[in-house]
Amino acid sequence: MKLLKPSWVSHNGKPIFSVDIHPDGTKFATGGQGEDSGKVMIWNMAPVLREEDEKNENIPKMLCQMDNHLACVNCVRWSNNGLYLASGGDDKLVMVWKRAAFIGPSTVFGSSSKLANVEQWRCVTILRNHTGDVMDVAWSPHDVWLASCSVDNTIVIWNARKFPEMVTCLRGHTGLVKGLTWDPVGKYIASQADDHSLKVWRTMDWQLETNITKPFSECGGTTHVLRLSWSPDGQYLVSAHAMNNSGPTAQIVERDGWKTNMDFVGHRKAVTVVKFNPKIFKKKQKNGGSPKPSCPYCCCAVGSKDRSLSVWLTSLKRPLVVIHDLFDKSIMDISWTLTGLGILVCSMDGTVAYLDFSLDELGDPLNEEEKNTIHQNIYGKSLAITSTEAQLSTTIIENPEMLKYQQERQNAAQAGSGPGGAGLESTAPKLNSVMNGESLEDIRKNLLKKQVETRTADGRRRITPLCIAQLDTGDFSPALFNSVPILPGSSMPSQLTPQLSSDSSQGQASSLGLRPSHDTLLTSPPVKQSLLLTSASKIEPMKALDSRFTERSKATPGVTADGSSILKDVKNKEETSSDSEDKMAAINKNLSFTKRKADLLMDGGEVVEKRKKGRPRKDKMATPISQCYTNKVLLLLLLNYKLKDCVCVFVQVSMEPSVFLEVENDVSVVAGSKLSQLRCSRDGREWDTLLPSSVVTAAGSSDVIAVACEDRMLSVFSSCGRRLLPAIQLATPMSALHCSSHFVMALTAGARLSVWDVQKQTALVKNESLLTIMSGADTTVSQSLLTQQGVPVIGLSSGKSYCFNSSLETWTLIADKGDSLVQCADFRSCLPSHDAPVSSGPLAVMQGRNLNAGRLASRLSSTPHHLQQSMTLAFLENQLAAALTLLSAQEYRYWLLIYARFLVNEGSEYRLRELCKELLGPVHKSAATAWEPTTLGLRKRELLRELLPVIGQNLRFQRLFTEYQEQLELLRNK
């Protein structure tokens, strides 16, 4: 045996309460008192083990020190996988540390020591629950749980897979709990406390298995710690301080019946710490010795207040070695190397000692396989712990499909960024390079000038700090999606650009250009300005409409024409403006705009702008319920227009097939009554009909044309001019009229809504009052539309949008612009990478750009992550439900995919499972099931098939993935 006291391992003379060797044996941690705080230090093992390394100046001794604990650190423990270090202290906290890879050496600011930290360990979690000093912490086998005990008499079991989640709190001790040890098999955890008891708890139900008091009845509560230990074969539990015939002992408790017949005696004062060697040994086979298999045995080190250390082999009646006067004060902690041959001991006197044993002294350690065999022989196959999965990173991929998705994901990650949604991500490397090296210096030089300083309402200075690095370890903040220097205070990235260095601003701008969800106004302000200069006044309202209704259209060629324009002219313009929605951005569109302006002026003031759209009907009602009979200027009615004295109005109502509607009031007077003419041109074929009263408003779709007259009559014609219904008499004048496929929607000045299915000749909505939704003094209808599926949607001036659900016969809220969920929901990371966002469906139309702003605002919001997660979840579920109510299949599919991605990212298994279950439906048909195979015309199982790759991206859900993939395969083959 060799003994060494490395003098350089010290906390500046302050007590060292705990020591633990890293599982890989290359470093060890000490915990204790710091200058004015608790201190955790991590040391290099090599200089302890080898003299030449100790002398080599280039080999660091101290790797890291953390003085984050506010009071003395009582215990440090490495996780079994070596990734984490847990520390518990007098500040009632347990901190879990993880190594941060990317940061270089640094010092603790203000510490007297100028030693740099070679490794960076960062606190990833703080576990707060104890109300008193934390005395001991222990990781369970396989790092499933972390246990901590405290002078508050409790033991807390933490979920080590999901910090800071608490599994349970074990209550029952009536004194300070000073030591913990897990059963190596994982079935029990044992604790020893000042209340003269040792308690064993079951991990199955966290109930007390046994309470051992007899050996401790004579004990006084005089030791600082009571670190007990379980033997590696699980057969013996050895307590710290116990008494036998008024002599201090370490009590041996047998697993079998919790018998207390044996103890380790000989120490003159209380035993503070017992630590089993992690290895099981067998007798060293001497050359030529008998091959008789000897019984395996364990090795145990016992430290005491009497400052001495004893090492025992369970095969011997006497200790292997006893070392007296190793320290000046009580021994506080012991740690074995994983090889079982080295041992570190620390003391209250602030020093540590290292003991090195040889195989001759201890015997031959069993390898892991042999150790497992022993475990299996004793406990059978039912090792409690095997039911829990190993670390995810080491999880074996069980399914080839899963492997495929995982590989795809890796490839995608390597490619850096996919198209579309990855736009912002692509700027990250650029900015990282800016952040590194000299560029950081550049930033620093100009920090004072660049930093954003504002004044608060009460006139105080407020500085927005420059974010220079994200935390690499925690998932604390989705806001730190990229390590983009965030200069909050500006809600849009484009406003960031002038504040950043030039190259980064280019990156930002170009990435914005890539993002399909951004509207063009934001990205190309110069273009917008030039447009405003050339055709100022007329463009303004157009733009208002554009931005309101069409964030982006799927290349729906739109055209505008005047009443007197002839068809050819219209078609010409159609050719020049290939995409009416994007015309704001395109400079060459100036021409067509100005030309139109001229046309309008020639028209003698009768301005009727017509815009046609193939898909959902949209309109704007200047003054909603009260009918407005504006004489001359009818502003920007999409498809829908009101007129009284106008002589002639012309509108295109449908693109495919192209349908134009022309109304001429007062064409002739017959027997004192004025006749109006309705002319319709469909694919070049025209028809016309006469109406006995002035047409007030008209609307059409590819299937039907509806016309409301001054005498409150509503007439409906087929696309070929056949009258489909007799004139419908309305109670009050028509306020808004919409047609969409074969549905007709009428909103009257009496605030009543009706929707008819012309094909089936039934009413979907029967004269429903809007009063339900129009509560509040001055809410007015600001928008109304009818979807292709015949769902009427009403947008109110309060920012809320409702649709009438005819199956539920109620109004349902589908969008609320004041909804704070929208502002806070952050699902950016879940946006599909290649699909353009669906911005043309009724839901998108009603929610409008608000959604975009919310997505950006969430980057800067300081909402805690868990809250934001819940808000995002709630928001996405709202979207799904709204899309479902609106019967908007494409939007439903779009939000379903985002929702699934979010669930996968956040690991919400229950919701995900329920979703999959609903989509899969019953595998075997039975009459009792009410499951519908389709939703909104989308086949649910097809949707599930689409979701599977998303689920496959998270290895955690591979079981779920496999389960549903197999069932889908099964169903397909049926």
Partner 1 sequence: MAKVQVLNVAVLDNPSPFGNPFQFEITFECMEDLPEDLEWKIIYVGSAESEEYDQTLDSVLVGPVPAGRHMFVFQADAPNTGLIPESDAVGVTVVLITCTYRGQEFIRIGYYVNNEYTDPELRENPPLKPDYTQLQRNILASNPRVTRFHINWEGSADRMEDSENVDPAPNISGMLPPSCIPGKVPPLGLMPDNSMDCM
Binding site for partner 1 (CB under 8 A): 35-37, 68-70, 91, 93, 95, 106, 109-112, 123, 126, 444, 447-448, 451, 456, 460-471, 474, 476-477, 479-480, 486, 488, 860, 862-865
Q: What is the closest distance, in whole angstroms, from the C-beta atom of residue 40 to partner 1 in the complex?
A: 11
The three-state secondary structure class of 246 is coil
Which of 14/679 has CB closer to partner 1?
14
Q: What is the closest distance, in whole angstroms, from the C-beta atom of residue 29 to partner 1 in the complex?
A: 17
| Sign of the dihedral defined by the CA atoms of residues 222, 224, 226, 232, in that order | negative
Whether the Cβ atoms of residue 111 and residue 67 lie closer than 8 Å to each other:
yes
3-state SS, 479-490, equals HHCCCCCCCCCC
Which of 123/691 has CB closer to partner 1?
123
**Nearest Cα to Cα of residue 888 among 736, 701, 702, 740:** 740
Which of 275/859 has CB closer to partner 1?
859
Which of 463/622 has CB closer to partner 1?
463
Cα–Cα distance between 556 and 553 in angstroms, integer?
Answer: 6
Which of 340/485 has CB closer to partner 1?
485
Which of 525/864 has CB closer to partner 1?
864
Which of 122/552 has CB closer to partner 1?
122
Cα–Cα distance between 838 and 489 in angstroms, integer?
Answer: 29
Q: What is the closest distance, in whole angstroms, from the C-beta atom of residue 67 to partner 1 in the complex?
A: 8
Torsion angles phi and psi, residue 926, rounded to 5: -145, 155
Q: Which amino acid is at 576?
A: T
Q: What is the closest distance, in whole angstroms, from the C-beta atom of residue 853 to partner 1 in the complex?
A: 17
The CA-atom distances, in angstroms, between 251 and each of 213, 228, 237, 240, 335 are 11, 9, 8, 7, 19
Which of 858/954 has CB closer to partner 1?
858
Q: What is the closest distance, in whole angstroms, from the C-beta atom of residue 585 to partner 1 in the complex?
A: 33
Q: What is the closest distance, in whole angstroms, from the C-beta atom of residue 861 to partner 1 in the complex?
A: 8
Which of 128/318 has CB closer to partner 1?
128
Angle between the N-to-C axes of helices 536-549 and 525-534, in degrees from 0 to 180, rounded to the nearest 10: 140
Q: What is the closest distance, in whole angstroms, from the C-beta atom of residue 115 to partner 1 in the complex?
A: 15
Whether the Cβ atoms of residue 725 and residue 706 lie closer than 8 Å to each other:
no
Q: What is the closest distance, in whole angstroms, from the C-beta atom of residue 441 to partner 1 in the complex?
A: 12
Q: What is the closest distance, in whole angstroms, from the C-beta atom of residue 307 to partner 1 in the complex?
A: 24
Helix residue ranges per DSSP H, 825-957: 842-847, 850-860, 865-885, 889-906, 909-920, 940-951
Q: What is the closest distance, in whole angstroms, from the C-beta atom of residue 509 to partner 1 in the complex?
A: 23
Which of 8/102 has CB closer to partner 1?
102
Which of 131/372 has CB closer to partner 1?
131
Cβ count within 10 A of residue 772: 12
Cα–Cα distance between 967 and 875 in angstroms, integer?
Answer: 30
Cα–Cα distance between 596 and 580 in angstroms, integer?
Answer: 13
Whether the Cβ atoms of residue 10 and residue 34 lie closer than 8 Å to each other:
no
Which of 123/884 has CB closer to partner 1?
123
**Which tokens sit at 464?**
């927005």
Q: What is the closest distance, in whole angstroms, from the C-beta atom of residue 68 to partner 1 in the complex?
A: 5
Q: What is the closest distance, in whole angstroms, from the C-beta atom of residue 486 to partner 1 in the complex?
A: 7
Q: What is the closest distance, in whole angstroms, from the C-beta atom of residue 103 to partner 1 in the complex?
A: 9
Angle between the N-to-C axes of helices 889-906 and 909-920, in degrees from 0 to 180, rounded to the nearest 10: 140
The three-state secondary structure class of 253 is strand
Torsion angles phi and psi, residue 206, rounded to 5: 55, 35
Which of 37/508 has CB closer to partner 1?
37
The three-state secondary structure class of 130 is coil
**Which tokens sit at 349?**
């006197």
Q: What is the closest distance, in whole angstroms, from the C-beta atom of residue 896 to partner 1 in the complex?
A: 29
Strands 781-786 and 62-66: unpaired
Which of 259/462 has CB closer to partner 1?
462
DSSP secondary structure, 303-370, as one string: EETTS-EEEEETT-SS-SEEE-SSSSS-EEEEEE-TTSSEEEEEETTS-EEEEE--HHHH-EEPPHHH
Cα–Cα distance between 803 and 790 in angstroms, integer?
Answer: 10
